[in-house]
Every structure is written in structure tokens, then in C-alpha cells.
Structure 1
Amino acid sequence: MEKIRGILIDIRPEYDFLEDIDFIEAGMLDSFDIITLVTDLEENFDIRIDGSDILPENFCSIKAIENLIEKSGGVL
């Protein structure tokens, strides 16, 4: 969780990503941030995220991102 949170903070340092809210709905992440996040996750977790998985619901919380990483073959 902390590794993911660190990546998120690198992308958007103005947020702490500790709140239990939808990051997309709250405006904490936009589509450009998602593209950056996908690249960072792939590099940090040595995974390949399928294009069909690049959906807002897979990036709306740290738990959703963890699930995406595991689905993509990554180890947390």
C-alpha cells in the first residue's frame, strides 16, 4: 500500500491519498494522471497492464489499484 501511495504522491503531491474516497470522482486523478500511473505501476511492479483494464474503477482507490496489480501478475 505504501509503495502505491508513494507513486500517487509523486504524481499528485498536493494530495495525501489516505482518505477513503474515490480518487477519480474527487478530482484527485485525471486521465493524464492515469496514463502516468499506469507507466509507473508497470515499471515498479514489473507488470503489463492490459489496455482493457485502464478503466476509472481500477484507479479509484489504493485497494482497486492493488487488485489491478495482482490481476496483472504483480506481487505486492
Structure 2
Amino acid sequence: METIVSLLEELKSGVDFTSKTDLVDSRVLDSLTILALVSDLEDAFDITIPAVEIVPQNFNSVAGILDMVVRLRESGF
């Protein structure tokens, strides 16, 4: 979880990522930021994030991002 928060803070500072649950819905994360985050997550966790996973529910919160990363790592992506 700390790695995900660090990656988010590098992309967008000044946001309390640990408590927000509407990162996409409130436009804290826009499409370009999400694409950069996807690349950073893939590098940091040695996973591939398929396009079908790039949906608001997976990126609205740190918990959602973490769940997606864990699921993809377990499934071998």
C-alpha cells in the first residue's frame, strides 16, 4: 500500500490518497494521470494491467488499486 501511495504522490501531490474514495469520480485522477499510474504500477509490481482493468472502480481509491494489483499478481498478469 505504501508503494501505491508513493506512486500517486509523485504523480499528484497535495492529496490525501489514503482517505479519498472518489479519486476518479472527483477528477483527482484524470485519464493521463491514470495512464502514467498504470505504467508505474506495472513497473513497480512486475504486472501487466489489461485495458479491461482500467475502470473507475479499480482507481477510485488506494484500496481499489491495491485489490487490482493483488488480483493481477495472483493471476499471473
Give the structure-2-normalised TM-score: 0.87
Which residue of structure 2 lines up, in the alignment, with residue 61 of structure 1? 61
RMSD of aligned Cα (Å): 1.3
* Paired AA for residue 68 in structure 1: M
Which 4+ stretches in 1 moved above 3 angstroms?
A: none
Cα distance in structure 2, aligned partners of 1:36 and 1:59: 12
Cα distance in structure 2, aligned partners of 1:57 and 1:18: 16
Cα distance in structure 2, aligned partners of 1:63 and 1:18: 8
Q: Which runs of 5+ in 2 are unaligned?
A: none
For 1:1-76, what aligned pairs fall within 5 Å after superposition? 1-73=1-73
* Paired AA for residue 14 in structure 1: G
Give the structure-1-normalised TM-score: 0.88
Cα distance in structure 2, aligned partners of 1:62 and 1:9: 11
CA contact (8 A) 1:58 1:65 kept: yes
Q: Which runs of 5+ in 1 are unaligned?
A: none
- Higher mean alpha-carbon deviation, 13-22 vs 57-66, is at 13-22
Bigger share in helix: 2
